[in-house]
Structure 1
């Protein structure tokens, strides 16, 4: 897993982004945006780190942060036009490069992997009981 993160990080660094910054851009891509809380849950970036990463993306003009009109304590984050353009350029390229990593795997390999991961997910969920 760390090798794949390194692969993705090296790729997005070519666009002037850190791995965490691209994680946020990829999560916000093809959405109308989301709250900080939802963004943190989907990216697994801690609240303190998330604020700093969003600050830097906002400074780059890639995201827009707005205060929620219903609850002034909450913020809503969405991609700016520039952020959408970057997402639409980088995400397909990264996905295509990533697909190359899996060319040696068969459909049966993926079915076995999916079954194994589903079992692991089930075991983790049941361990909380």
Structure 2
């Protein structure tokens, strides 16, 4: 029986993803945060003011759960809400100065952890990995 490379690729991808996610989760928890808190702050830190929908799409957390996390982060004064003047249904979320200071401290350390995870790959291998994952992801979207 021949080796099923598609199945093997899938299994290796899932195991690798799980391992990396666990390392990232462990790093984020060192800073007293949950992954959902960190990913929302990180999105606002790098992209600026966003709507709840934009954040939800960026961090892959559903809008029902994201509201709870935003409430918690707002209570901690790490982000704030503001209403859209053109459309009252739209609420913008932005990082506060306190949130920015926290991310200024945490993010470089977090980025270093990610760089360590991928340190065994050359830049060319990283570029190839990115292209292959994008290609597989696009195939997955068309199969639905």
TM-score, normalised by the number of residues in structure 1: 0.89
1:22 and 1:110 map into 2 onto residues whose CA distance is: 24
Give the C-alpha shift of residue 70 in structure 1: 1.5
Question: Once the two structures are superposed, what CA deviation does each residue of 1:4-58 show, in whole Å capped at 9, x if it has no partner?
Answer: 2222222222222110000001111133311111111111111110000000000
Higher normalized helix content (fraction of residues): 2
Aligned counterpart, 2:139: 123
1:14 and 1:122 map into 2 onto residues whose CA distance is: 34
1:126 and 1:66 map into 2 onto residues whose CA distance is: 37
Question: Once the two structures are superposed, what CA deviation does each residue of 1:65-86 show, in whole Å capped at 9, x if it has no partner?
Answer: 1122221122100000010111
> Which of 82, 94, 102 is the equivalent residue of 2:98?
82
Q: Show the 5 A alignment for 1:50-89.
A: 50-89=66-105
Q: Show the 5 A alignment for 1:1-129.
A: 1-128=17-144
TM-score, normalised by the number of residues in structure 2: 0.80
Which structure 2 residue ranges, 5 or more long, are not aligned?
A: 1-16
Runs of 4+ in 1 over 6 A off after TM superposition: none
**How big is the alpha-carbon RMSD for the aligned residues of Structure 1 and Structure 2?**
1.6
Which structure 1 residue ranges, 5 or more long, are not aligned?
A: none
Number of aligned pairs?
128
